[in-house]
A and B are shown apart, each in its own frame.
Chain A
Amino acid sequence: MRELSLHILDLVENSVRAGASFVLVTVVENPKKDLLRIVVEDNGSGLSVAPVAALDPFYTTKSGKRTGLGLSLFRSSVEQAGGQLVLRRSEFGGLAVEATMQLSHVDRIPLGDIAATVSSVACTDQDVDLCCLFRVERRECIVRISEIVKELPIAKRGGLAIARQVSETIKARLGTVEAEL
């Protein structure tokens, strides 16, 4: 995958399949330490196997499939940027996937269109409350889908309208924060 946001989308889809009703995506850029940290965590059912097994590209929870490449490809992307991927239990009760990589690494893929990623989740998985926290140095922005939906008139709470509103809100709130990622 050419963008980290596509990996994030994949992880959120994993959370949805694990029965999560809440997913928190945290993206922290720390230029002083030259680090980029991405955490996707949820209140889903968590891992049913050891982390090392979940990272095996031949492990999948989907029936009828022989390979499960989502986490494995994310780990490769993180490692090629001098980083590491850790799977642990989230304080929300489900799984936390935490990636830390070198921000300036020549092989680090770009974050990509995070607004499109989050709005596509808002459109397709309306039962999941996705919350995103972006931080660059001391600037921070938080976008939570359930709060954006609440601001919409009830008649306009359809998938596409929600997605559009989520996308516009992220773009507006991210502003200069996103420009640096």
Chain B
Amino acid sequence: MKLKEIAHELNLRELTPEVPGDASVELVSGHASDLLSEVLTNAPSGSVLVTTLVHMNVIAVSVNASVAAVVFASGAIPDEVVRRKAAEEGIWLYASEESTFNIVGRLYELGLRGRHA
């Protein structure tokens, strides 16, 4: 499913409109974690990451793990420096008031899958 369709379905707030392209990238996988070393190891390349962390480390880890987009759950919002760095790196950021659990549930319903053991 296309990222922009996912954003629409989940009513996500787009934080990085300046990222080139119109978020028409196809997403098939996702990952949810608030432990970034675990994200580094387990997040599938090209996936969407759901987290409540808003530190610059989230962006660095996303670059390292080739995460395509990040959804900040539970109303978490990164500051402007973090947001701008993500845009510079071409990573789409979205925000939601929903919990990680509910967001992941919806993503699963839409056909996205996590890494298999």
**Chain A contact residues, CB within 8 Å of chain B:** 1-2, 56-58, 66-67, 69, 72-73, 76
Contact = CB atoms under 8 A, between A and B. Distances in A.
Interface in B50-71: 53, 55-57, 59-61, 63-64
B85 to A, nearest CB: 8
Contacts of B35: 1-2
B64 to A, nearest CB: 5
Counting contact residues on chain B (CB < 8 A from A), the size range is 10 to 19
B50 to A, nearest CB: 18
B64 A1 contact: no
Interface centre among B56, B59, B85, by most chain A C-beta atoms within 10 angstroms, is B56
A69 B56 contact: no
A69 B61 contact: yes
Which of B35, B38, B57, B64 has most A Cβ within 10 Å? Answer: B57
B57 A66 contact: no
A73 B37 contact: yes
A57 B37 contact: no
B91 to A, nearest CB: 13
Q: Name B's interface SS.
A: helix
Contacts of B27: none
Contact of A69 (B38, B53, B60, B85): B60
Given A1-B37, A2-B35, A76 B55 contact: yes
Summarize A's interface: helix, strand, loop or mixed. Answer: loop
B55 A58 contact: no
A72 B60 contact: yes
A73 B36 CA distance: 8
Given A1-B37, A2-B35, A56 B64 contact: no
A58 B36 contact: no
Interface in B34-54: 35-38, 40, 53
Given A1-B37, A76-B36, A69 B55 contact: no
A69 B63 contact: no
Contacts of A72: 55-57, 60
27 contacts: A2-B35, A2-B37, A2-B38, A56-B56, A57-B56, A57-B57, A57-B59, A57-B61, A58-B56, A58-B60, A66-B64, A67-B60, A67-B61, A67-B63, A67-B64, A69-B36, A69-B57, A69-B60, A69-B61, A69-B64, A72-B56, A73-B36, A73-B57, A76-B36, A76-B53, A76-B55, A76-B57
A76 B57 CA distance: 8
Contacts of B64: 66-67, 69
Given A67-B63, A69-B61, A76-B55, 8 more contacts: A1-B37, A57-B56, A58-B56, A66-B64, A67-B60, A69-B40, A73-B36, A76-B36
Contacts of A56: 56
